[in-house]
Amino acid sequence: MDLRILAILNHKGGVGKTTTCFNLASAYARMGLRVLAIDLDPQAHLTVSLGLQDHGLTGVDDVFLEQAEVENFILNIRDNLDVLPAGFRLAEIERLSSAGRKQARVLEKALQPVQQKYDIILLDCPPTSGLLNFNALYTADEVVIPVSSDYLALHGLSQLLRTLKSAEKFMQKKLKFWIAITRFTTRRRLSNQVKDKLIKYFPRQLLATVVRESAPLAESPSFGKSIFEYSKRSNGAQDYAALADDILYERVYS
């Protein structure tokens, strides 16, 4: 298959962005696809979720700050699954003074020597609109936006999509946008109202599977395990396996 590069992005916190990135990466690796997960968030939640606890770990930070080669920092952590850690200096990148087009394409250029090794590259993006996210958007072909089923997440989505459209004009490139409903509570009226609004306004972008709220999804990162390793029969495992297929085969509501 042709390489697909997906940025997992939302400026709102608490929507399950890192959970989505980690478990999609794990789902694709379990399918036998060659996957690279890249942690672009200075909080390094993806790195920690994958079981890497070393506070002195370097990765994306050295690629930006030292012009180091990406392949020096890629770690194999599961069958078919590699990770490029965030690095403890990643927050310094957002403070770089010159944030023009050249610095916005550092990641895109750095990945070119290793891209042929992978089928899917997933970028876990920070909840900001700074330089790291611009690098993600220049690098990616597609953007997956996790949206939790609450009113503020829905309100933030419209603003985010406007920001992304502006970024497309600046970058002079088109991106595919996918919306993934996360943290969904079936019996909660608000969850269903948010879902109905997303179906109404974004039917061609809304992925067919909703990811239900579940305790195992919240617990698994603290054990450094994906939902498939932690609780393979849980709702979360079923939902993320289905969501991975949705993206792979572009299954949406309409």
Domain ranges of the chain: 4-249
Phi, psi (deg, nearest 5) at residue 252: -130, 180
Tell me: the pLDDT tens digits for 108-145?
999 999 999 999 999 999 988 789 999 999 999 999 99
Tell me: the pLDDT tens digits for 212-241?
999 999 999 999 999 999 999 999 999 999
Tell me, what DSSP letter sits at residue 65? H
- Joined together, the tokens standing for residue 18 give 């890192």
Q: Are strands 4-8 and 142-148 parallel, antiparallel or unpaired?
A: parallel
Superfamily of domain 4-249: P-loop containing nucleotide triphosphate hydrolases (3.40.50.300)
Q: Are strands 4-8 and 120-124 parallel, antiparallel or unpaired?
A: parallel
Report how far Cα 126 is from the mean position of its chain's Cα atoms. 9
- Please check the confidence at residue 98 and state whether its pLDDT lies above 60: no
Phi, psi (deg, nearest 5) at residue 181: -80, 125
Residue that wins the pLDDT comparison between 37 and 101:
37
Half-sphere exposure of 51 (CA within 13 A, CB side): 13
Tell me: the pLDDT tens digits for 135-184?
999 999 999 999 988 877 777 888 899 889 988 998 999 999 999 999 99
- Joined together, the tokens standing for residue 213 give 């709220």
- Joined together, the tokens standing for residue 183 give 């943290």
> In this structure, how many other beta carbons lie within 10 angstroms of the beta carbon of residue 53?
10
Taking the C-alpha atoms of residue 35 and residue 24, their distance in angstroms, rounded to an integer, is 10
- Please check the confidence at residue 64 and state whether its pLDDT lies above 80: yes
Taking the C-alpha atoms of residue 64 and residue 72, their distance in angstroms, rounded to an integer, is 13
The H or E element spanning position 103 is helix 101-104
The residues with which 145 forms a beta bridge, in sequence order, are: 179
- Joined together, the tokens standing for residue 209 give 């599977």
Percent of the chain clearing pLDDT 90 (strictly above): 74
